[in-house]
Amino acid sequence: MQNHYNNNGVSRRKFIGTLTGAAALSLLKLDRRAIAGSLPLDGLLTDYTGRICYNENPLGPSAAAITAIQEEAAMSHRYPDWYADSLVSDLASFFDIDSDKIVCGSGATEILRLSAMAFAESGGNVVSSYPSYSQFPNDAEFFGSDVRYADLDDDYLVDLTALYNLVDGDTTCVCITNPNNPTGTLLNPEDLSAFVDSLPSGVVTLIDEAYVEIIRTTSFTPDSIWEDDYLSAVEMVKDGKNVVVVRTFSKGYGLAGARIGYAIGRESRINSIKANRIFATVSRASLEAAKAALEDQDHIRNTAVLARQTRQYCYNEFDDMGLDYIPSAVNFFMVDVGNADSVRSQLSSRGIYVRSGWGMPGHLRVSTGTMHEMESFINALRDILGYPGGRPKKADWKLPENTELFQAYPNPFNSSTSIKVFLPATQKVSLEIYNVRGRLVTKLADRVLGAGEHAFVWNGIDSSGKSVSSGSYFYRLVAGEDVITRRMILIK
């Protein structure tokens, strides 16, 4: 078996071996207050800078999604698809799966609630991990089910063997968050698949993949870059397994405020989720945003790259300070700072919001923000912990920090040339072409664009549709406060 993991891999042989020698595990008696991390709310609703506590996407939504929302706004007097059918159909093509195996809702939050209504039974039990995302087990308990928790293993990874040992004849569902929140750890897909196969046939495995898009391009070791090959649990659904995968547009796609989630699973299971839904919970604008975002996988790539770079920057700083951290696959990580509650409140008084809790008194959970936010976080942490030493070193950048207007390519050009722009944040942008007399020739862009790289092609045509003559032309980018002009030459 190929092992992508440098610290958490559990081989299939080891996993199956431990199952047969199963020792009974005591159930954790959990204080409900310790399940979720404490929420630092002061100031957060008005000031988003330093809000590195909700695992949001610092790049914002894809520009295509923003445009889609703007274009759909005028139709807001009409109800949306009752059940998000157009998005279901786009997701079906995207995943190459039957649309009967998909259900959409208002965020993963609605989907998890509907799943708890479908899979939790009074008198039965559901099995979950701790610490992990708590909504499903909490909802299951609310609907009358007993909840059994298995601790994470010594590497803070969901412990499949411990979960298996909690399953009995009354178990209706096992809930696994992968990548796990709050630890950011990731299971080996083959181990997860073997686990699902080992369960009694009536037990459904609910796999919350809220962060799965961000693990693309994640590298656990410097020489293993993980491009698009992480095997999502959607593959298990395609293989006919008794699995429901919960996904969201909130994280990788940067659409947390638009509230769109979905589940992909065996048809009978999806029908049970549908049985409890109410209609029209996803707005027209959100539906269009999600469909456009799905098309813009470059935005996901930029998101994943930024998460990896900011994470690595922090890890280097932690190494320098001698702090232990849990290697994460996603856009948040945990670092052991000694007294997490105290450090969290000191950070919060400096306008940096992180989280603590989950019964882990030493660990902060920190979302990866912009590079600027991570530098502020590290500076403040050094100060609070008394490591005034070395100023943070810059991470090994691939994404520029500032607005960039790149040289047109090719230049000089004959029939067409491509002009690339990089934006550090989502903003209103105009890109115009002028002739040497300063007269406007045409506009290539005049709209809101998302953070990341954008390419525009100019084929030597002016705004009235006529071919322009050979010569020098200027292209001018206005993005927020930044105005950048460059020159290119058209040769016919």
Ligand X SMILES: Cc1ncc(COP(=O)(O)O)c(C=O)c1O
Under the rule (CB under 6 A), what is the footprint of ligand X? Answer: 55, 107-109, 133, 177, 181, 208, 210, 248, 250, 256, 261
Please, which residue, 262 or 377, has the CB nearer to ligand X? 262
H or E element, residue 305: helix 297-321
C-beta of 185 vs 250, nearer to ligand X: 250
Min dist. Cβ of residue 210 to ligand X (A) = 4
Report CA-CA distances (Å) from 47 to 122, 350, 352, 390, 424. Answer: 43, 12, 10, 29, 18
Q: Which is nearer to ligand X, 246 or 378 (CB)?
A: 246
Answer whether 182's CB lies under 8 Å from 332's CB.
yes
**CA separation for the pair 35, 51 (Å, rounded):** 21
Closest Cα to residue 261, out of 245, 272, 275? 245
Task: Compute the least distance from the CB of residue 215 to ligand X, in Å.
Answer: 13
Residue 232 CA to chain centroid, in angstroms?
Answer: 14
Enter the DSSP assignment of 450: -
- Which is closer to ligand X, CB of 113 or CB of 216? 113
Q: How would you label 100-127 residue by residue, b for 16+ Cβ within 10 Å and e otherwise?
A: ebbbbbbbbbbbbbbbbbbbbbeebbbb
* Rama region for 141: left / alpha / beta (φ>0; ψ in -120 to 50; rest): alpha
Report which DSSP code applies to 249. S
Decide whether 147 or 399 has the Cβ nearer to ligand X: 147
Residue found under tokens 């999806």:
270
Q: How far is the CB of 173 from ligand X (least distance, A)?
A: 15
Nearer to ligand X, 172 or 177 (CB): 177
What does the DSSP 8-state code read for residue 102?
Answer: E
Q: Helices 85-95 and 284-295 sit at what angle, rounded to 10 degrees?
A: 10
CB 191, min distance to ligand X, A: 19
Output the residue with the shortest Cβ distance to ligand X. Answer: 107
Residue 112 half-sphere exposure toward CB, CA atoms < 13 A? 24
Instruction: Provide the minimum distance between the beta carbon of 114 and ligand X in the complex, in angstroms, as a whole number.
Output: 12
Q: What is the rounded distance in angstroms from the CA atom of residue 308 to the CA atom of residue 105? A: 29
Nearer to ligand X, 8 or 134 (CB): 134
Cβ distance to ligand X smaller for residue 50 or 107 = 107
